Amino acid sequence: MPPKEKVSKARIEDTAFEMTREYGFSEVTARKLADRLGCSTQPIFRAYENMDELRCDLFYMSIDFFLKQMLAKKNRTPAYMGLALSYVEFAIEEKKLFELIASVDDFGTQTVSEFLKSDEGVRILEKITGNRKVSDKSGQELFTMFWMFVHGMATLLAGNRVQLTEREIRNYISKAYQGICDQ
């Protein structure tokens, strides 16, 4: 009799990630995951102490997936529009991953002010402020206000609370950005 195939942590993560994309994390149970993997729940709980631990890993996998998609669309101008559109498109196209990323759980992520001090945050802030000379405080305020608007729009679109064309989305983003900058 051939030995049973071991189910690796990577295979568990990949399968759980695909299930999250399809159904949302709340539908990913140990039993359903084991059925998809063709094994018992034992390998899952050997790799993860509990499903919350797996959810945390899936959160960061979703963030990485989003960032790769966003970077693949890097030639959009102006830069603030490209960043905003990438986020909104991700929310629409990957609703279930967006639900996990946008969840209230923070999984130990940084606050906005902490993020803006990181290398990635500084680069994004430079893109959002463009050629404008702004103080650190004004830049943080601009980013925070713009982020809240774009996140709200993405959430409404992903939840089918509003239906907008790409042109309308661009128009709202542009008006919000200009309004925030004019303050």
Amino acid 104: pLDDT: 66
Amino acid at 118: S
Running DSSP on this structure, what letter comes out for residue 78?
Answer: S
Which residues make up the CATH 1.10.10 domain(s) of the chain? 1-48
CATH of 1-48, one of 1.20.120, 1.20.140, 3.30.230, 1.10.10: 1.10.10
Among the listed residues 16, 59, 62, 22, the one whose alpha carbon sits nearest the alpha carbon of residue 37: 16
- How buried is residue 77: exposed, middle or buried, by Cβ count under 10 Å (0-12/13-18/19+)? exposed
Amino acid 74: pLDDT: 66
Model-level pTM greater than 0.85? no
Running DSSP on this structure, what letter comes out for residue 165?
Answer: -
pLDDT values of the chain reduced to their tens digit, one per residue, 183 residues: 555 568 999 999 999 999 999 999 999 999 999 999 999 999 999 999 999 999 999 988 998 898 888 777 767 778 889 889 999 999 999 999 999 888 766 666 667 777 777 787 777 777 777 767 777 788 888 888 998 999 999 999 999 999 999 999 999 999 999 998 887
Spatial contact of 100 and 62, defined as CB atoms under 8 Å apart: yes
Q: Which residues contact 169 (CB under 8 A, 6 or more apart)?
A: 85, 88, 153, 157
Q: How far is CA 28 from the centre of its chain?
A: 18
Task: Give dist(CA 60, CA 117) in Å, integer.
Answer: 20
Amino acid at 74: K
